[in-house]
Structure 1
């Protein structure tokens, strides 16, 4: 196995700069050994994989194809070594967590910090994006877990709701609805809305609430951050359905009648075993 990895490393290094000395250094073998391996490869193929040009080598088409295959093979081996190491020792693992922008302010820092109190060596790779993109990353295996709202209905995903946040109407100061004890969504049919772009979970929830009330909201402005949305509301450019602000914003906030809320769910692949470090973090996030 070690010699196979060395040979693959040589091919990857040759693909990078076509320099035999550098390839030998990368693999930790003498330069004559590299030359011997290249000659043996050419013999087994019936055609040379590299042609010398001074201290460098010029890869043939066959050589380039082998180098591309070597790079893919090493990438797979490295991923396998990581998975094997995590299987033996969950404390050395990595968790790739995807989440919505809004959750990066409180939910994610709280979960990660409390988890690392008991698992200080576990590493995290954090990915922020829209709900649509985060779920695509999860499906592709680019992240291990996802925090999104609303929960997905795709059977390829399993999920558990970890938090619920009430949604309220945010209006500019002096708005006709400011000061009301509550408001029905149907009363907003003539309003211009400020909201998140399509693909964001809060946008989907807003559209669904309005559809249930019998109208399609008129989007005046769209953004990617709730704080931007609040700023646009403050400027009198529309109304918005948002969670309560983390800190006082100076904007009137009116409860909805009936009450509306969004569920924040932790999501993972339904049929793929989780590495131990990822499973440990999932269990931590789901703990009461």
Structure 2
């Protein structure tokens, strides 16, 4: 039941101070009432169908007309008929109410424990094998849960988490921010990737300091792997000389195969010809992979189930 206090200001189309959001707040609670009366053309019958007091419904229609500044109904006793203005208004009201109903159905469907949706973000390097394998394993017990999948670099995914566009994301480094909850799941060894005809290609292991004079190809600034590369090189005593910057690890591996530099990269899903991949013995070259979500953000049942599944993969995410 909706009541409008008599002290609430009324707005009319001719008001110089009319504010669209205020008008929407005034009108919205009465739109379903209006549609019910318009459908039945009878105040008493509409009140019974909507289970509201007749007096409440009558007052709501009077206030609606006053706020709009037009007559929506022609009245003969308790029977009413729409005026031309009322018919025009009804067309828009029915469209708005239908859109609200569609929105409600959509969010209810997304939250359904069996068939709901999870908006899940992950790094490009995890898209070929890791994430498909995770989803396949999860759907063994939740076969109808749907996924909206987003591949991006870490900082972009964190921003989408904050904007409410993602429920969860797999990222690296594991973020440390007061508005986020993050859990380390696993780590991924990084290798120094060199062209197959490079003098170092016959080696199995290397200290990163031995690559101080090499030209590097890296991800662009802002990517987690770029930050890790810069930090590891600094720890090894040098600043990498960067010739090419890209947005995707396999593109970098292709640049290495073309002889354009060396790179610190996670293992490929499928071995690529034209390169050699060396274990880095010092400093310890690895990146942590973690799952993050917005602190205090309530989970729908499918999101809660997938989060629990991911946390159960600690230490075995990449195996």
Q: Which band: TM-score by shorter chain?
A: 0.7 to 0.9
Structure number having the greater helix percentage: 1
How far apart, in 2, do the equivalents of 1:53 and 1:189 lie?
A: 80
- Match 2:150 to one of 93, 116, 127: 127
Aligned with 2:242: secondary structure?
strand
Report the TM-score, using the length of structure 1 for normalisation: 0.73
Deviations 1:187-242 (Å, cap 9, x if unpaired)?
22222111212222211111111122233222211122211111100111010001
CA RMSD across the alignment: 3.7
CA gap 1:32/1:198 in 2 versus in 1, 3 angstroms: same
How far apart, in 1, do the equivalents of 2:39 and 2:69 lie?
A: 19
Q: Which sections of structure 2, spanning at least 5 residues, go unmatched?
A: 2-34, 43-60, 73-82, 314-319
Partner of residue 169, structure 2: 146
Partner of residue 277, structure 2: 253
CA gap 1:49/1:218 in 2 versus in 1, 3 angstroms: farther
Structure 1 residue 35, shift from structure 2 partner:
11
- Match 2:135 to one of 112, 123, 132: 112
CA gap 1:217/1:115 in 2 versus in 1, 3 angstroms: same
CA gap 1:31/1:237 in 2 versus in 1, 3 angstroms: farther
Paired residues, what number?
A: 249
Q: Which sections of structure 1, spanning at least 5 residues, go unmatched?
A: 2-28, 59-63
- Match 1:155 to one of 178, 194, 197: 178
CA gap 1:153/1:49 in 2 versus in 1, 3 angstroms: farther
How far apart, in 1, do the equivalents of 2:239 and 2:203 lie?
A: 23
Q: State whether structure 2 residue 257 is matched by structure 1 residue 234.
A: yes
CA gap 1:82/1:260 in 2 versus in 1, 3 angstroms: same
Partner of residue 227, structure 2: 204
Structure 1 residue 99, shift from structure 2 partner:
0.8
Q: Superposition pairs for residues 217-228 of structure 1, below 5 Å?
A: 217-228=240-251
- Match 1:270 to one of 292, 295, 306: 295
Aligned with 2:234: secondary structure?
helix
Deviations 1:88-147 (Å, cap 9, x if unpaired)?
x52232111011111111111111111111111211111111111111101111100000
- Match 2:192 to one of 162, 169, 188: 169
Which has the greater radius of gyration? 2
How far apart, in 2, do the equivalents of 1:217 and 1:176 lie?
A: 19
